[in-house]
Each structure stands twice: as C-alpha cells, then as structure tokens.
A and B are shown apart, each in its own frame.
Chain A
C-alpha cells in the first residue's frame, strides 16, 4: 500500500511543481519567440514542425493533451489553424486558453495583414478573409509580436515582468542590429521578381522589395495544375522572374518542373525555425533565408 501511495505521489509530482509558464505554440516561430522572451521561465511546445503544412494538421490526441496543460496558446491566427485548433480547444477542457482569455493570442492580430478581403467566395480557393496569415517572415512583424507576447506573459505572471521586459529589450536590440545586417546583405535583391508556390512569402518579399510575379498554385490551397504550369512556362520562358520559391513542406515537383523549362532557379526557403538545417532559431532563420535568396539570385 505504501508503495502504491509513493508511486501515485511520484506520478503527480511533475505536474505539481511546474512553475514555468507552459506555452503551446501552433507554429515553431512562436515557440522560438516565447523562448526568447520567456527564457527559463517558459516551457514552450510547438504543435507543428517546419516540415508540416500548418493549414492541414490532424487534431491529434497528443496535441489535445498539450493544450489541456497549457497556460498560453499562441498561434498565427487569421484562420491559418481553422482546420484543427478549434477541435483541440474543444476537446482540451482548458478554460484558461480559450479565445478571449489572457491565455490565448493570435500573433497576426498585432500586425498589419495584407490581402484581407470581404470576398469569401470559395471558388477563389482557400483564401483567408482576414488577410495573409504567414506574417512571421517579415522581421518587423516579429518585433510587434515580441512586444505583445512580452506584455501577455507579464499579464499571466506579473512577478516576472522585469525579466520579460529585460529579455524583450535584449531581443529587440539584437534583432534590430540583425535586421540592419540582413537588409544590407539583401540590398541586391531589391527589384527582383519571384514566383512562389503558395502565397506564403508576401511579407518577406514586401520587406525585401522583391516582386511576386506569379504563384504555382492556380487557386490558393489547391495543388498546381498542369495547365497552369504550362501557361507559366510560356509566360516565363523568356525571363520575367529571377527565382522560384517553395516551403520545405511543399512538393518540389512543380517548381523543379518549371525551373527545368525556364532555367529560373528553384529554391527551398525555411518558412519557420527548423525548415532547413541552418534555421535553428529566429536569427538563423533569417540568416538562412537571406543567404539562400542571394545565392540563388547572384548565380542567376
């Protein structure tokens, strides 16, 4: 009997002594940002990896268990996770992280989103009426979300406000210095033209002054069609674009096919932390993005 009691105590102990704020991030960039702002005071978990399309995730039991124990849920929002997050929240029985509470935040509601539309006709494909949710690839947006996240963590855990503030300031100083470095390194990219697989890169291209001239997907969210690809082939056979970009989770077939016929280089860019071997944190994510873009286009 004593053994049983000891076993029960040992089993429940890890939950009882959990002092950190448990952060459930829908995407890896927000988990990384929580680590930057929260440091040792947060225990972050990312529901998705950079190799997974965050539009299409199964509402897995393991994720429900994580939401059940979370103190803060941070997601891109703007309906990116509409196909799975509501199912997790419904099953998780955790009132602390429901939308509308302090335990829930959508990063995209702290930045200016592009592409918002009142036209929600689904014949136009998988559109996000609240605007493009892939906001993390513009470092300016990351600063806005960092400030909001720091404020939110302070609200959840006022005792640690000073530490969050300090971490935020350190992060912002380092981030602004890095941004200057990235912008200098990417100066030659200004005015270049890119074809992208999905509209995942509008914020990045906008920041770097690269023009998006076409998408491989004829209709957002649906796989590229042969007809659309051959139309792109004739459109860009004489030039008109400098690079073809896709995310690690997108099938390479279409961009390689187009690249072969047009001699426009096709590259994979990490859309979030972990997308490439080089992108191990938020800083190296942008290091790697800029490196890959400049390598592809300087060769061209």
Chain B
C-alpha cells in the first residue's frame, strides 16, 4: 500500500507545488519529508528484495547445494562442479623391502586403487560402491569391495544396510585401507579374514536414545565362499562418550559365527585425545582389539597401537600385534611416521620386526596414499 502511495505523493507535489506559490514553506517541507521517508522505506524494501533475490540466485546457481548435501556419507560435492554421484579415487602404493635369514628382497607394489562412488538414491535410500583395482601377478583385477544400499528413513533410531558390505565386526574391519594408521593390517585380521571381512547380506543397527552412545547391531551374511546359504551372522554392541574437553572413547564387543569355521569373539577399545578437542594441531589415538577364536591351533589374536601427532602434518606411531597359538605366540613390532601435506595426501615410512617365523626378519616400507575427487567424512 505504501509503495503505491509513492507516485500519489509525487503527483500531489507536482500539482500543488506550483499552485502554492506563496504557500507556507512549511507545507512543502512536510511533503518533502514525507516523500523522503517514503523513498527511504521504498529503498529499504527494494534492497531487502534484492538481497533475497541474490541469496536465492546464489543458492540456485550452486545447484548441487541442497540436492548434493542430502548425500550423506560423502563429500558433498561442490557447487557448479557438482557430481551425482560423488566420485572419489584413492591411490596407494608401497616401496618395500624384506631382510632376514634366507630372504632378502625388495620391490615396488602398487596397492589397491580404491574407486568410491555414492549418492542418495531418493529420499529413503542411499547407495555406495567401492571397487578396488589391483595388479596381481602382472594382471589387472577389479574387485567389488562394497556395494550396498542403505535406508535413511527408518524411525526410532533404526538403520539398515544391504548388499555387499564390510562387516561391523571388530573396529578396524569397517575402515578402508586408506584410513589405516599402518601400511598393513594387524596379524589377527590377516589370520582370521585374510584382510577385511566383506560379505553379502543385511545389517540392522539400533541406536539408543541416550546421551551415552549405545549402538546395537547384527548382520546376516552369505558366508564367504559358501554358496549353500546364509552361513554367517554377527552381533555387535558399541558404547562411547567423551571425557573432559579433549578425550573421547569407544568400546565394543562383537561376535561372528560362520558355519564353516569356529566362532570368533572380538573386543575393542579406542581412545582419542586432542588438547581442548582441537584436532588439527596435536592429537593422540590409541586403539586395541582382542579376538578369541575357538579353533584348534589358533586360540586368538590381538594388537595394540598408538599414533601421536605432535604438530601439524607429522604423526608417529607404534604397534604390537600377535597371535596366540597352541605352539607359540608369534608377534610383530612396528613403528611408523607419516607426513600429510593436506587431508588428501600422505606419505608413510614403516619398519616392522616380524617374529612370526623361525627367525626374525625386518621389513620396511615407504607408502603413499593420495586421494582425488569427493572424499567421504571419516567415522570415529
């Protein structure tokens, strides 16, 4: 209404101003003030409309913004260069050497190159794919590590995932190789899973509505290499919380039953600390896992490791890992340091003394991990 009245006021001014002649300056001043006020009001409104238009245009121009940010697990890809799905590639490789009695060799191994794609399917599902490209014996191999669909719409703290998944058994199992703090997996993972345990099946998790983190979950799985049916299942529970302003912890227990093998029970504990919770400068990670295996020969396995970042970019770590067998307790000791130029690149030097054989042998490796494209947020 007030906007419409501006031209009206102008007409009034043009009509009456000449006629006024000797009319009191007062009236003119009043009219002028009224017009100025209207104009100011008008300008404010236009400015506000222009601002809102600009914000709307900005958000529309960066098309992916709203749409892409609904993709949960991955880097919300970026503005004008928005991808759907988000695509990331992680490059890894190692220059390594072994030195022991009767063995002396070295080589360059291009580790698995991870290809990661993910996006929301619609408002109720998200999908995720990790393929590992590897060179084995001179030939290229493509392995589907994970290919799953996740529901995002279940109520009451439930979540479900199905397809080919990395089991939530243990702590390290769900982590991609580029997230490991050492170049290789601890002995129990190598002994019990020949790497990570990935399988086809369904997972259900539930998160308690408490301030203490409490997650319960289970999986029904095909059982690797067992075509006969649903031959494996897991149960797991995790709790966690904060201590003070800088510390946080996660503890969990998990159980795996496979028809073809003895059952495996795992327990893990992870502690992360940084001064005031400011992770960027200094931080410390301690993690340990224990596995109990009910088979003849191997009774269990364990590892414990600590990684400390004393200042930005540099980290130093040590790890001990071992197995418990009827005969003896083979062990390894490793130390590493790594340098990260950014979140997307890391170079790592690792030394391992392997005491699992008859005689000790020393191993070293210089590893690189580089990531391009969208990169998902890392879990705890």
CB closest chain-B residue, reference A91: B379
A223 within 8 A of B: yes
Complex CA gap A115/B47 in Å reads 21
B207 within 8 A of A: yes
Q: How far is the CB of B175 from chain A (nearest CB, A)?
A: 12
Are B72's CB and A52's CB within 8 A? no
Are B152's CB and A98's CB within 8 A? yes
Task: Give me 5 A-to-B residue pairs in the complex whose CB atoms sit less than 8 angstroms apart, sorted by A's number.
Answer: A53-B278, A60-B242, A65-B211, A65-B214, A93-B207
B192 within 8 A of A: no
Set of chain A residues within 8 Å of B59, measured between Cβ atoms: 109
Are B58's CB and A49's CB within 8 A? no
B277 within 8 A of A: yes
A57 within 8 A of B: yes
B205 within 8 A of A: yes
Are A52's CB and B277's CB within 8 A? yes
A181 within 8 A of B: no
Contact flags (1/0) for A218-260 with B, using CB distance below 8 Å? 0001110000000000000000000000000101000000000
B105 within 8 A of A: no
CB closest chain-A residue, reference B251: A61
CB closest chain-A residue, reference B250: A61
| Chain A residues numbered 78-133 whose CB sits less than 8 Å from any CB in chain B | 79, 82-95, 98-100, 106, 109-113, 116-118, 120, 122, 125-126, 129-131
Are B210's CB and A65's CB within 8 A? yes
Contact partner of B159 among A88, A93, A116, A122, CB < 8 A? A93
Instruction: Given contact pairs A48-B277, A95-B152, enumerate 8 new A-B contacts (beta carbons under 8 Å).
Output: A49-B277, A60-B248, A93-B158, A99-B66, A109-B66, A112-B54, A125-B342, A129-B79
In the complex, the 3 A-B pairs of residues with the closest C-beta atoms, listed nearest first: A61-B240, A61-B213, A129-B78
B133 within 8 A of A: no
Complex CA gap A128/B4 in Å reads 43
Q: How far is the CB of A223 from chain B (nearest CB, A)?
A: 5
Complex CA gap A88/B155 in Å reads 17
Q: How far is the CB of A52 from chain B (nearest CB, A)?
A: 5
Complex CA gap A125/B344 in Å reads 10
Set of chain A residues within 8 Å of B279, measured between Cβ atoms: 52-53, 56-58
| Chain A residues numbered 116-168 whose CB sits less than 8 Å from any CB in chain B | 116-118, 120, 122, 125-126, 129-131, 144
Q: How far is the CB of A40 from chain B (nearest CB, A)?
A: 20
CB closest chain-A residue, reference B82: A129
Are B207's CB and A82's CB within 8 A? no
Are A85's CB and B66's CB within 8 A? no
Contact flags (1/0) for A36-69 with B, using CB distance below 8 Å? 0000000000001101110111111110111011
Complex CA gap A117/B248 in Å reads 36
Contact partner of A60 among B70, B208, B380, CB < 8 A? B380
Contact flags (1/0) for B314-344 with A, using CB distance below 8 Å? 0000000000000000000000000001111
Set of chain A residues within 8 Å of B207, measured between Cβ atoms: 64-65, 68, 91-93
Are B276's CB and A112's CB within 8 A? no
Are B276's CB and A51's CB within 8 A? yes
Chain A interface size range:
35 or more
Set of chain B residues within 8 Å of A68, measured between Cβ atoms: 157, 207-209
Set of chain B residues within 8 Å of A110, measured between Cβ atoms: 55
Set of chain B residues within 8 Å of A249, measured between Cβ atoms: 276, 278, 280
Contact flags (1/0) for B65-76 with A, using CB distance below 8 Å? 110011111111
B104 within 8 A of A: no
Are A84's CB and B377's CB within 8 A? yes
Are B152's CB and A86's CB within 8 A? no
Set of chain B residues within 8 Å of A87, measured between Cβ atoms: 73, 376-380
B137 within 8 A of A: no
A61-B248, A87-B379 given; A106·B69 CB < 8 A:
yes
B15 within 8 A of A: no
Chain B interface size range:
35 or more
Complex CA gap A112/B377 in Å reads 26
Complex CA gap A221/B280 in Å reads 10
A58-B272, A122-B344 given; A65·B212 CB < 8 A:
yes
| Chain B residues numbered 63-109 whose CB sits less than 8 Å from any CB in chain A | 65-66, 69-76, 78-81
| Chain B residues numbered 19-53 whose CB sits less than 8 Å from any CB in chain A | 51
Set of chain A residues within 8 Å of B205, measured between Cβ atoms: 93
Set of chain A residues within 8 Å of B79, measured between Cβ atoms: 116-118, 120, 129-130
| Chain B residues numbered 179-197 whose CB sits less than 8 Å from any CB in chain A | none
B286 within 8 A of A: no
Contact partner of B72 among A89, A113, A222, CB < 8 A? A89
B238 within 8 A of A: yes
Q: How far is the CB of B44 from chain A (nearest CB, A)?
A: 13
Contact partner of B62 among A56, A92, A116, CB < 8 A? A116
Set of chain A residues within 8 Å of B342, measured between Cβ atoms: 122, 125-126, 221-222
B312 within 8 A of A: yes
| Chain B residues numbered 240-290 whose CB sits less than 8 Å from any CB in chain A | 240-242, 245, 248-250, 272, 274, 276-281
Set of chain B residues within 8 Å of A111, measured between Cβ atoms: 55
CB closest chain-A residue, reference B379: A87
CB closest chain-B residue, reference A253: B311
A110-B55, A112-B51, A126-B342 given; A59·B380 CB < 8 A:
yes
Complex CA gap A69/B282 in Å reads 30
| Chain A residues numbered 195-230 whose CB sits less than 8 Å from any CB in chain B | 221-223
Set of chain B residues within 8 Å of A15, measured between Cβ atoms: 209-210
Contact partner of B155 among A59, A92, A95, A109, CB < 8 A? A95
B313 within 8 A of A: yes
CB closest chain-A residue, reference B378: A87
B123 within 8 A of A: yes
Q: How far is the CB of B294 from chain A (nearest CB, A)?
A: 30
Set of chain A residues within 8 Å of B1, measured between Cβ atoms: none
Set of chain A residues within 8 Å of B209, measured between Cβ atoms: 15, 68-69
CB closest chain-B residue, reference A219: B342
Set of chain A residues within 8 Å of B54, measured between Cβ atoms: 112
